[in-house]
């Protein structure tokens, strides 16, 4: 028996890898720009700026180190020894879900799973390699006080797509 690669799966795996690479690249740029640690996981630029305005006051860029999970939950990383293995297990489940949905050739399922996988791998990589995740996007700080990164964005967008996916698409994955 020869193994024929599921090209639909490979295509969406490449989307995941692209999301992962884009996330790593943006975090790399942020680490270069905000290189001076002022303590407690906060950083400033070489000229002392704590944040950069992209669209003031809606979108600001600032670097924080997050030892917890998305949006700074468990920011101190107290439960990292529990959350990291759970994240690894969930990432494996996402790969399985992407593979199963690719057999159905379902864009409505594959695309969200590929976004979620790319984001999960991006944050998992940081957590395993550095022990923390770089967050830098501050959006609507007066309303939404959390700082996040592209990986969090990919995960969130993927989850929103899945929430609105037709129920019959999700049910057909079980077959």
From 74, 126, 152, 168, the catalytic residue: 152
For residue 137, the SS3 value is strand
Domain that holds residue 122: 16-45+64-163
- The domain total for the chain is 1
Per-residue pLDDT band for 1 (boundaries 50, 70, 90) equals very low
- Is residue 174 situated within a structural domain? no
Which residue out of 47, 126, 135, 168 is catalytically annotated?
135
In a domain, 129, yes or no: yes
Q: Is the peptide bond before 57 cis (omega within 30 degrees of 0)?
A: yes
Per residue in 100-114, is it b (16+ CB within 10 Å) or e — as a string?
Answer: bbbeeebeebbbbbb
152 is catalytic: yes
- Could you confirm whether 74 is annotated as catalytic? no
**Which pLDDT tens digit goes with each residue over 36-63?**
999 888 899 999 999 999 988 889 999 9
In a domain, 8, yes or no: no
Per-residue burial over 49-65, b if 16 or more Cβ lie within 10 Å, else e, is: eebbeeeeeeebbbbbb
Instruction: Tell me, yes or no, whether 2 lies in a domain.
Output: no
Residue 171 lies inside a defined structural domain of this protein: no
> What tens digit of pLDDT does each residue of 66-80 get?
887 665 666 566 767
Cα angle value 100/104/110 (rounded, 5°) = 65
């Amino acid at each position: 028996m020869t193994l024929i690669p599921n090209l639909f799966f490979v295509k969406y795996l490449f989307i995941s890898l692209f999301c992962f690479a884009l996330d790593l690249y943006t975090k790399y740029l942020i680490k270069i720009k905000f290189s001076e640690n002022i303590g407690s996981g906060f950083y400033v630029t070489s000229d002392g700026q704590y944040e950069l305005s992209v669209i003031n006051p809606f979108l600001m860029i600032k670097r924080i180190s997050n030892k917890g999970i998305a949006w700074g939950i468990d920011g101190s990383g107290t439960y990292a020894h529990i959350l990291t293995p759970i994240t690894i297990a969930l990432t494996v489940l996402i790969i399985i879900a992407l593979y199963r949905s690719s057999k159905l050739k379902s864009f409505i399922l594959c695309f969200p799973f590929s976004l979620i996988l790319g984001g999960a791998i991006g944050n998992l990589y940081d957590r395993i390699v550095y022990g923390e995740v770089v967050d830098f996007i501050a959006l609507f700080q007066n309303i939404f006080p959390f700082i996040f990164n592209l990986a969090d964005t990919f995960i969130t967008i993927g989850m929103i797509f899945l929430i609105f996916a037709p129920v019959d698409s999700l049910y057909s994955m079980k077959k």
